[in-house]
């Protein structure tokens, strides 16, 4: 104890203890500094590891994206080729009557619809618009549906005639439900039919008579029926 030491020795001892305390303080500060430095280095290393991990994940994602794009490209090309092949088949292997009906239908719709066809594996008629869009005949309006039916009927008449059974075609006021524009185009289609077959069209409506009178190549006659009083 300092109290048991001589005055000179006590002062010297106190000085030694003070120096030791300072040394311990410096060591403590050094340890704290070293700890801080090591902690910072640790965090930097962890950051580098995280960056490496993220870089690796990025590369993996890029590889997966590349594979997905290649697969999508191959699948899309295959789909395009399939569709083109199917379209060529549908165009070249349709019944002849549908080709003729398509001409009539195009005339009646003023070129809005250009083709009637049977898609592969489908048992209903489809139509193709001028802009290339296709739709089932079930979705046509009533007026357009009637034009389709008339086009098919006239095409069948031609098909029968070409097989050696060319009978006169008798049509009895089939345009009464058509609006004036549709009726006018239908009259032109019927005139085309009459260039290949004899067509007799009967009507009791003056406006229908006027439609055919305005079509070149059509002979219009008025029949009077006499009645006994």
Same domain, 108 and 187: yes
| Whether the predicted pLDDT of 88 surpasses 80 | no
User: How big is the chain, counted in residues?
Assistant: 229
| Structural domain includes residue 84 | no
Same domain, 206 and 117: yes
Same domain, 58 and 113: no
How many domains are contained in the chain?
2
pLDDT in tens, 99-127: 899 999 999 999 999 999 888 777 788 99
| Structural domain includes residue 89 | no
Instruction: Return the ∠ at Cα 118 (arms to 113 and 123), rounded to 5°.
Output: 130
Bridge partner list, 172: 202
Rounded CA separation 103/147 (Å): 12
Q: Which domain holds residue 141?
A: 94-213
Split at pLDDT 50, 70, 90, the class of 2 is very low
| Structural domain includes residue 219 | no
Split at pLDDT 50, 70, 90, the class of 228 is low
Whether this prediction's pTM lies above 0.85 is answered by no
Same domain, 56 and 144: no
Same domain, 63 and 100: no
| Structural domain includes residue 11 | yes
Rounded CA separation 94/87 (Å): 11
């Amino acid at each position: 104890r300092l109290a048991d030491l001589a005055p000179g020795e006590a002062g010297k001892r106190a000085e030694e203890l003070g120096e030791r305390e300072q040394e311990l303080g410096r060591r403590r500060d050094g340890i704290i500094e070293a700890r801080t430095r090591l902690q910072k280095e640790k965090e930097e290393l962890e950051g580098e590891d995280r960056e490496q991990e993220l870089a690796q994940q990025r590369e993996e994602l890029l590889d997966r994206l590349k594979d997905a794009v290649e697969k999508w490209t191959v699948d899309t090309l295959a789909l395009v080729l399939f569709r083109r092949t199917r379209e060529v088949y549908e165009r070249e292997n349709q019944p002849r009557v549908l080709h003729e009906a398509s001409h009539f239908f195009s005339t009646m719709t003023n070129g809005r619809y250009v083709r009637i066809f049977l898609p592969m594996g489908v048992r209903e008629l489809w139509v193709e618009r001028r802009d290339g869009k296709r739709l089932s005949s079930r979705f046509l309006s009533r007026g357009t549906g009637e034009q389709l039916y008339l086009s098919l009927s006239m095409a069948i008449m031609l098909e029968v005639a070409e097989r050696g059974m060319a009978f006169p075609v008798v049509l009895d006021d089939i345009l009464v439900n058509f609006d004036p524009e549709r009726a006018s185009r239908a009259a032109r289609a019927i005139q085309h039919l009459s260039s290949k077959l004899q067509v007799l069209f009967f009507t009791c409506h003056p406006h229908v008579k006027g439609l055919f009178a305005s079509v070149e190549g059509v002979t219009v006659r008025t029949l009077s029926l006499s009645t006994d009083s």
